[in-house]
Amino acid sequence: MRSVAFLPDGGHALSVDDHTLRAWDLATGRETFRSRDDAQAILCMAVSPDGRQVLTGGRDAFLCLWKKNE
């Protein structure tokens, strides 16, 4: 695992591994989201203090801003 971030709600986490961003439900241990952009090859992430936005960086030198939908 390259990196893990726990979200402020206390019930979810994000991880980056194998060039993929994943979201997890900590109560069930189930994956709730997986990035679908195979071209980006995600290497790192940063989470906003409120947990509503995630910035990822990839091997392709692009940044991607992910926003939580309501």
2.40.10, 2.60.40, 1.10.3470, 2.30.30: which CATH number matches 3-67? 2.40.10
In this prediction, residue 36 carries a pLDDT of 73
Strands 53-58 and 42-47: antiparallel
> Which of 39 and 28 is assigned the larger pLDDT?
28
> What was the pLDDT predicted at 62?
87
What is the reported pLDDT for 54? Answer: 95
Per-residue pLDDT band for 16 (boundaries 50, 70, 90) equals very high
Q: Do residues 56 and 42 make contact, with C-beta atoms less than 8 angstroms apart? A: yes
Where does the pLDDT of residue 18 fall: very low under 50, low under 70, confident under 90, or very high at 90 and above?
confident
How far is the C-alpha of 31 from the C-alpha of 58, rounded, in Å?
A: 21
Q: Whole-angstrom Cα distance, residue 6 to residue 18?
A: 19
Q: Which pLDDT value is given to residue 69?
A: 80
User: What are the distances in angstroms from CA 19 to CA 31, 41, 50, 58?
Assistant: 16, 4, 24, 8
